[in-house]
Amino acid sequence: MRYLDAAQHFNQAAALVPSGHPDETADYLYRQAFALYGQGDERGDIAALKESIETWHLVLQQRPRDRVPLDWAMTQNNLGIALERLGERESGTTHLTEAVAAYRAALEEQPRKRVPLDWAMTQNNLGNAPERLGERESGTAHLTEAVTAYRAALEEQTRDRVPRDWAMTQNNLGNALWELGEREIGMAHLTEAVAAYHAALEERTRDRVPLEWAMTQNNLGVALQTLGEREGGTAHLMEAVLAYHAALQERTRDRAPLDWATTQNNLGVALESLGERESGTAHLTEAVAAHRAALQEYTRDRAALQWAMTQNNLGNALARMAKREGGTAHLTEAVAAYRAALEEFTRDRAPLQWATAQNNLGTALKTLGERESGTARLTEAVAAYRAALEEFTRDRVPLDWATTQNNLGNALERLGERESGTADLTEAVAAWEACLTVTASAWPPAWVEGVHSHIDRARAKEARRASK
C-alpha cells in the first residue's frame, strides 16, 4: 500500500469510528499522521508534511495532556519531527522554531527520572532543530543550545546501554560543534567535533552499519579539513582526504549517488587546499577530477544549488592550477565554471553564494587579463568585484567585504597600468584604503604591509603621470 493510499484508508476508517471513542480515533489519526509523514519525508512532498502536522495536532486533541501525559508527550515529539522536516525544506525559520517548542513541550512530561531513554531521545531531537536554526542564522546561540541538548542526551544514551543511539548522538554533536567551530576563531570546537566523530565510529563500524559509518567518515573529513585550513602544514588535510576516501568505499555512485557526489565534492575541496600548500599540480589535478565526478550526479536539473556549489569549487581548483601553469586554458575553464555557478546562484536566491562566485569570477578574469593584451578582461573583473560588493557589505560580512575591496584595488591597478590617466589608480587606492579600515587589525602584519605597498606604488604612478 502506498503512503497516500494508506493515509486515505485511515482517513476513511477514522470517519467510521463512532463518536465518543477518542482512543480508537486517536489510533487511526496516529497511523495517518505517520503515513503522511513517510510520504512527505521520502518523496519530498511538502503538502503531505503539512497534512501530517495538521493530523498530529488532531491526535493531541484526542490524547490530551491531563488524561494521557506520556502519549501526549510522544505525540509532541512526533509533531516536532514533522515540523523540523518541513522546516528543513523551506526557507525561513518558522517551522523550525515550532519544532523546538514541540520538543520542549514533550520534555515537560518526559522527565529524566521517569522515562530516561525517551527523555534522551527528545533531547537529541531538540538538538537537531536548533542546529538547523543555527545553520540559517548568524551568531552561535542556537548552535550552543544544540550542543547542550546533545550532551544532555548522552548522559542517558550511554555506549553500554544503547550503543547505536549513543553513536548517532555523538555524530550529531560533532555536526553542531563543527558548525560552531566554523563561526568562531580558534580550534577548540573543531577539535571537539573530531573527537565526537571518532567516538561515533567506535560503534558505527563499516561491518555493522556501512552507510552510517560512511556518513560519519564524511563528516569527520569536513571537520579535519576545516582544522587543516586554519593550521599550517598538511597533516589534517591529509587525514581529511583519507576520511573522504574511506567514505567513498561505501558511498558508491550506484548505491548512494547523491551522497557519493557530496563526498566527491568535499574531497575536491580538501585536495585543492592541499594543492595550495604544495608545489606541483598533482593534488590540484585530483581536485578537478573529483569535482567533475561530483557533477555527474549533481546535475543542474536534479540538484541545482549543489550543482552550482560544485561548479564554483571546480572553478577554484582550475584557477589554482592556472596560477602554477602558463597559458590561459585553465583560466578560461575556471571563468566558464563560475559563470555556470551564477546561473543558479542568483542574487535573489542565494545572495552570499552569488557574491562569492562573483568575487571568484573577478579573480579569474583579473588573472586572465594579466596574461592577455588589452583591457576587456580586467574591466570585466572590476565589474564582477563591484557586483560582489553589493551583497558583501561591510556591516554584514566585514572580512569578505574587505577582501573583495583589496581584490578590486588589484584589478583597478592593473587596468590603470594599461590606460592613460589616473582615474583607475585613484579608485584602486580608495579600494585599498577601504580594505584597511577592517583588515589593519585583523590580517597578519605582512598582508597589511603588502596593501600599504600597493597604495604607495599606485600613488607614485599617479604622481608621475600628473607631472607629465
Locus of grid cell 555557478: 341
Is the pLDDT reported for residue 207 higher than 50? Answer: yes
Could you give the CA distance from residue 313 to residue 272 in angstroms, rounded to a whole number?
Answer: 9
Q: Which residue has the higher pLDDT, 92 or 9?
A: 92
**pLDDT value, residue 10:** 45
Closest among 28, 30, 26 to 11, alpha carbons compared:
28
Is the pLDDT reported for residue 346 higher than 70? Answer: yes
The phi-psi region of residue 323 (left if phi > 0; otherwise alpha if psi is between -120 and 50; otherwise beta) is alpha
**pLDDT value, residue 440:** 93
Question: Do 99 and 80 form a contact (C-beta atoms < 8 A)?
Answer: yes
| pTM of structure | 0.83
Could you give the CA distance from residue 201 to residue 205 in angstroms, rounded to a whole number?
Answer: 6
**pLDDT value, residue 280:** 87
Arithmetic mean of pLDDT, 121-139: 89
User: What pLDDT band is residue 24 in, cutting at 50, 70 and 90?
Assistant: confident
Is the pLDDT reported for residue 231 higher than 60? Answer: yes
User: What pLDDT band is residue 379 in, cutting at 50, 70 and 90?
Assistant: very high
**pLDDT value, residue 9:** 43
**pLDDT value, residue 20:** 55
What's the pLDDT tens digit per position in 170-203? Answer: 999 999 999 999 888 889 999 999 999 999 999 9
**pLDDT value, residue 18:** 46
Is the pLDDT reported for residue 289 higher than 60? Answer: yes
Question: DSSP strand E in 229-292: where?
Answer: none
Question: Do 319 and 333 form a contact (C-beta atoms < 8 A)?
Answer: no
**pLDDT value, residue 160:** 97
Above pLDDT 70, what percent of the chain? 95
Closest among 417, 340, 412 to 383, alpha carbons compared:
412
